[in-house]
Structure 1
Amino acid sequence: MSSIPHPDFTAARFSHCPDARFQPAPADGVLPEGFFTTTNLPTYVRVGGAWRMPREPRMDGALVLDAQGELWIREGRRVRAGERVVVGFAEDGSEGVYVNTAYLAGEGEGEFKFMTSAVSREKPIDYAHMARVLVDERERGGYPIWVTGPALVHSRARADMTWFVAHGFVGALLAGNAVAVHDIEASIFGTTLGMSGSGEATSGGHGLHMRAINKVRAAGSIAKAVDAGVITNGIMHACVVHGVPFVLTGSIRDDGPLPDVVTDNLEAQVAMREHAVKATMAVMIATALHAIATGNMLPAFVTEQDGSLRELPTICVDSSEFVVSKLKDRGTHQAFGVVTNAQDFMHVLRLYVERDLAARGLPVPK
């Protein structure tokens, strides 16, 4: 992935930049007037004459200096009364905050080219590159987070997702109640939303997802249902067996829900953010709301252990161009859009990952 150079703060244009200004938060969850609003881009704050990067970068947050002198990006609701918050609006360093947008500048402006739109179903999909990045992440011990919608299960991509979980390509799974419900329904009854593997409706199938929920609730949790042999295969089974963490968040329309589902929206954000701050890659498939929610928590970059920066690979897959465009419009500009259905994407990506593993001389799991 592309590296992102740090700005040269010895350059003349930074020589007269002041330290950032701080004001105390007037109350818990209330920011001072004129607080600086963060983006997902590399951000530097001048404190005590030195330019520093805050921890846990994300968009739509505030810059907070804690009692130990550590800089953080915090959502407004998490800021406590009296904490020091950066105030100002400028992003060019003139008020002590610099947002690095220089690396986003493109090349070849003014030259006519085909297929330069950000999202198009006519654009070729470079599966080989995506597979290479995914294998790289696994081999370097990265933390790819996968954000999935129920269409992934209904479209018969369940086996491929299970394969990725089982073989170390998933750091964490973020999804809604429905993904787990229909995956578990498939494990117990062999159907999703009452449909057989061939897509045909089954007798009494409309209630099978409810029966699956009931079995898990009776067991106490998804993990306990796996241990009891109620769930014997599939995505959630693989997560439990291979120790891959998952966050299932609720919505107003959920059946059940499953006992593992976080139904409080703010608690769900906290649970998702625990994984978003560790993400070194993101793959979002067939889910508009979860993709946008996760995208808002992600920085556009990864900070390596040596302090260097690189772009955070973000792949958004949906059969609709609208969903991919919406994610980018909401600020996740680094997202690479793939306009196709979940089944085709997962099948082909797995094929290319297997090829990449073979080319490297690494074991190719079946």
Structure 2
Amino acid sequence: MSFVIPEYHHPDFSLLQFTEAPDAAYEVVDKDGVAPDYFHSTSMYPEYFKINGKWLLAGESRMDSSVVICDDGHLEVVENRNLKKGDKVILGRSEKCEEGIYMHCGGFMTEEEKTDDQFVFRQGRSRETSYARDYDNLFELLRYEREHGNILWVMGPAFSFDHDARAAMQALVDNGYAHGLMAGNALATHDLEGALLHTALGQDIYTQACQPNGHYNHLDVINKVRRSGSIPQFIEDYNIDNGIIYSCVKNKVPIVLTGSIRDDGPLPEVIGDAYEGQGAMRNLVRKSTCVVCLATMLHTIATGNMTPSFRVMQDGTIRPVYLYTVDADEFVVNKLLDRGSLSATTIVTNVQDFIAIVAKGLGVM
């Protein structure tokens, strides 16, 4: 059965709660990076604001940001640190029309889903959960997104330590199942180490056997990349022909690498400024319609915070953004369970096994 995007249902603005609601109030920012008192903070759900008697949707939303009324009339969701003096910031802490603000959580739900209050067991997600249907749904979703959407992968370094996982992810990239990659210094460093030396942190990526002086390997690779000046130049200089990063460079898949206080090196492309890195990540998230977060707690939480549950497409239609988070630790995946059943799916498993199953399920390996 082929994947079908759920239809979005706008609120019924003819209802009294909307017609009798006041216009949303706003206040002008008087200092860069500082929101007015009582600013409205956004969620991951579609939010509407009554401006001059008309309900407007704030597109390109994200959690924990302010809503600015722009001079041309459209609404822009802006992180508070990026507010500028003179911006008109919407005020209000209620979300059911009382202050001209409405949060629409059920836009993609059918009437049956809205009224389904059956008591059922095993609604949580754990190591004991069966994920067979989740995998089937993911295969269909990724096939759809390859042609009609934008697939963003958020990856921890676990993939770079295993030969088969690297090969599986490379196959997905080579076959068009990646439109963006976000990671840290470690994923890229050890993947390039695997490509050049067949090790990750000095261990053979197939046998896991430690190599003599192997603890130097990733440091040597970082040094070589820095001498080359960039990852693409390093790939050319050393005739690299395998791996996740190689495949992304070859296929012109955008990569955002954000740094950590503990980084070695780092690689030249790693963004060391946390807020510059967050901005670069959000630029990729803004394009995405399917986000898959894999074995990286901090990147997963950061990405979840900046990923809305919906996307306004160029033709004006509204579709869901699908978020998957996969980790062997139940705590990590359950951090995002409150995003809503449609927009977030969590899988508790080893991500190296996960990526191999996905590659085989999609027929690329």
Q: TM-score range with shorter-chain normalisation? A: over 0.9
Q: Give, in whole Å, the separation in 2 of the partners of 1:86 and 1:107.
A: 32
1:261 corresponds to 2:267: no
The alpha-carbon deviation at position 228 of structure 1 amounts to 2.1
Secondary structure class of the residue paired with 1:4: coil
Task: Provide the residue aligned with 1:192 in structure 2.
Answer: 200
Question: What are the superposed Cα offsets for residues 237-262 of structure 1, whole Å, 9 maximum, x if unpaired?
Answer: 11111100100000011011001100
Task: Provide the residue aligned with 1:39 in structure 2.
Answer: 43
From 22, 26, 45, the counterpart of 2:30: 26
The alpha-carbon deviation at position 110 of structure 1 amounts to 4.3
- 1:328 partner amino acid: L
Q: Give, in whole Å, the separation in 2 of the partners of 1:271 and 1:108.
A: 40
Q: Give, in whole Å, the separation in 1 of the partners of 2:169 and 2:116.
A: 39
Is the Cα–Cα contact under 8 Å of residues 121 and 340 in structure 1 kept in the other structure?
yes
Is the Cα–Cα contact under 8 Å of residues 43 and 98 in structure 1 kept in the other structure?
yes
The alpha-carbon deviation at position 45 of structure 1 amounts to 1.0
CA spacing shift, 1:332–1:290, aligned 2, 3 Å: farther
Q: Give, in whole Å, the separation in 2 of the partners of 1:107 and 1:210.
A: 57
CA spacing shift, 1:107–1:154, aligned 2, 3 Å: farther
Is the Cα–Cα contact under 8 Å of residues 64 and 79 in structure 2 kept in the other structure?
yes
The alpha-carbon deviation at position 208 of structure 1 amounts to 0.4
- 2:225 partner amino acid: V
Task: Provide the residue aligned with 2:58 in structure 1.
Answer: 54
Secondary structure class of the residue paired with 2:314: coil
- 1:108 partner amino acid: D
Task: Provide the residue aligned with 1:362 in structure 2.
Answer: none
CA spacing shift, 1:209–1:288, aligned 2, 3 Å: same
| Count of aligned pairs | 352
- 2:265 partner amino acid: G
The alpha-carbon deviation at position 107 of structure 1 amounts to 4.8
1:132 corresponds to 2:129: no
Question: What are the superposed Cα offsets for residues 208-267 of structure 1, whole Å, 9 maximum, x if unpaired?
Answer: 000111110110000111222343321111111110010000001101100110000011
Aligned-pair identity (%): 40
Is the Cα–Cα contact under 8 Å of residues 61 and 308 in structure 2 kept in the other structure?
yes
Question: What are the superposed Cα offsets for residues 103-134 of structure 1, whole Å, 9 maximum, x if unpaired?
Answer: 477553242x23212x2222111212101100
Is the Cα–Cα contact under 8 Å of residues 38 and 92 in structure 2 kept in the other structure?
yes
Q: Give, in whole Å, the separation in 2 of the partners of 1:332 and 1:149.
A: 24
From 77, 80, 92, the counterpart of 2:96: 92
Deviates more, 1:39-48 or 1:175-184: 39-48
Q: Give, in whole Å, the separation in 2 of the partners of 1:168 and 1:204.
A: 38
Q: Unaligned regions of 5+ residues in structure 2, if any?
A: none
Task: Provide the residue aligned with 1:357 in structure 2.
Answer: none
The alpha-carbon deviation at position 199 of structure 1 amounts to 1.2
1:149 corresponds to 2:156: yes
1:238 corresponds to 2:254: no
From 14, 18, 27, the counterpart of 1:10: 14
The alpha-carbon deviation at position 101 of structure 1 amounts to 2.0
Q: What is the 5 A alignment of 1:209-358? A: 209-328=218-337, 331=339, 334-354=343-363
Is the Cα–Cα contact under 8 Å of residues 295 and 332 in structure 1 kept in the other structure?
no
TM-score normalised to the size of structure 2? 0.92
1:82 corresponds to 2:96: no
Is the Cα–Cα contact under 8 Å of residues 60 and 312 in structure 2 kept in the other structure?
no
Q: Give, in whole Å, the separation in 2 of the partners of 1:320 and 1:203.
A: 32
Q: Give, in whole Å, the separation in 2 of the partners of 1:130 and 1:247.
A: 24
TM-score normalised to the size of structure 1? 0.92
